[in-house]
Amino acid sequence: MEKILNLFKIPDLRKRLVFTLGLLAVYRIGAAVPLPGINTEALRVLFEQHRGSFLGFLDIFSGGALSRFSILTLGTIPYINASIILSLLQGAHVIPYLDRLAREGESGRKKIQQVTRYMAVFLAIFQSFAIAVGFSGTQGPGGASIVMDASTGFYMMTALTWTAGAIFVMWLGEQITEFGIGNGISLIIFTGIIARLPAAITDIFRLVRVEELSLIAALLLAGLVLVVCGLVVWVETAQRQIPVQYAKRMVGRKMTGGVSTYLPIKLDPSGVIAVIFASAVIQAPLFISQLFPASAVSGFLQRSFGGFNQGASLFSLIYAGLIIFFCYFYNSIAINPNDLAENMKKWGGFIPGIRPGRSTAEHIEWVVEHLTLFGALFVASIAVLPDYLRQYFSAPFFFGSTSLLIVVGVALDTIGQLEAHLLMRHYEGFMKKGHVKGRWFNVGQA
Assess whether pLDDT exceeds 90 at residue 24: yes
What is the spatial distance between Cα 245 and Cα 348, in angstroms, rounded to a whole number?
Answer: 8
* Cβ(30)–Cβ(72) below 8 Å: yes
What is the spatial distance between Cα 85 and Cα 79, in angstroms, rounded to a whole number?
Answer: 10
CA dist 372 → 2, 28, 37, 243, 271 (Å) = 38, 35, 48, 19, 10
Q: What percent of the chain has pLDDT over 90?
A: 8
pLDDT tens digit sequence for 241-253: 888 888 766 566 6
What integer pLDDT is reported at residue 426 of this predicted model? 62
In total, how many domains does the chain have?
Answer: 1
Q: Which phi-psi region, left, alpha or beta, contains residue 37 (left: φ > 0; alpha: ψ -120 to 50)?
A: left
Q: Which of 4-18, 335-349, 395-409 has the lowest mean pLDDT?
A: 395-409
What is the spatial distance between Cα 216 and Cα 223, in angstroms, rounded to a whole number?
Answer: 10
Q: Which residues span the domain enclosing 213?
A: 2-445
Assess whether pLDDT exceeds 60 at residue 417: yes
CA dist 360 → 349, 355, 374 (Å) = 10, 6, 22
The bridge status of strand 249-251 relative to strand 254-256 is antiparallel
- Report which listed range, 271-280, 303-312, 368-377, is most confident: 368-377
* Cβ(46)–Cβ(140) below 8 Å: yes
How confident is residue 256, by pLDDT bands cut at 50, 70 and 90? low
Assess whether pLDDT exceeds 90 at residue 320: no
What integer pLDDT is reported at residue 440 of this predicted model? 41
What is the spatial distance between Cα 372 and Cα 40, in angstroms, rounded to a whole number?
Answer: 45
Q: CATH number of the domain that 244 lies in?
A: 1.10.3370.10
Span 261-278, average pLDDT: 80
What is the spatial distance between Cα 279 and Cα 281, in angstroms, rounded to a whole number?
Answer: 6
Assess whether pLDDT exceeds 70 at residue 204: yes
User: In the 3-class helix/strand/coil scheme, how is the chain assigned residue by residue?
Assistant: CHHHHHHHCCHHHHHHHHHHHHHHHHHHHHHCCECCCECHHHHHHHHHHCCCEHHHHHHHHCCCHHHHCECCCCCCHHHHHHHHHHHHHHHHCCCHHHHHHHCCCHHHHHHHHHHHHHHHHHHHHHHHHHHHHHHHCCECCCCCECECCCCHHHHHHHHHHHHHHHHHHHHHHHHHHHHCCCCHHHHHHHHHHHCCHHHHHHHHHHHHHCCCCCHHHHHHHHHHHHHHHHHHHHHHHCEEEEEEEECCEEECCEEECCCEEEEEEECCCCCHHHHHHHHHHCCHHHHHHHHCCCCHHHHHHHHHCCCCECCCHHHHHHHHHHHHHHHHHHHHHHCCHHHHHHHHHHCCEECCCCCCCHHHHHHHHHHHHHHHHHHHHHHHHHHHHHHHHHHHHCCCHHHCHHHHHHHHHHHHHHHHHHHHHHHHCCCCCCCCCCCCCCCCCCHHHC
What integer pLDDT is reported at residue 170 of this predicted model? 92
CB-CB neighbours of 233 under 10 Å: 16
How high does pLDDT run on average in the chain? Answer: 78
Q: Which of 223-237, 251-265, 320-334 has the lowest mean pLDDT?
A: 251-265
Of residues 100, 96, 122, 118, the one with CA closest to residue 109: 100
* Cβ(388)–Cβ(311) below 8 Å: yes
More confident residue, 409 or 17: 17
CA dihedral 289, 290, 292, 297 (to 10 degrees): 0
* Cβ(271)–Cβ(328) below 8 Å: no
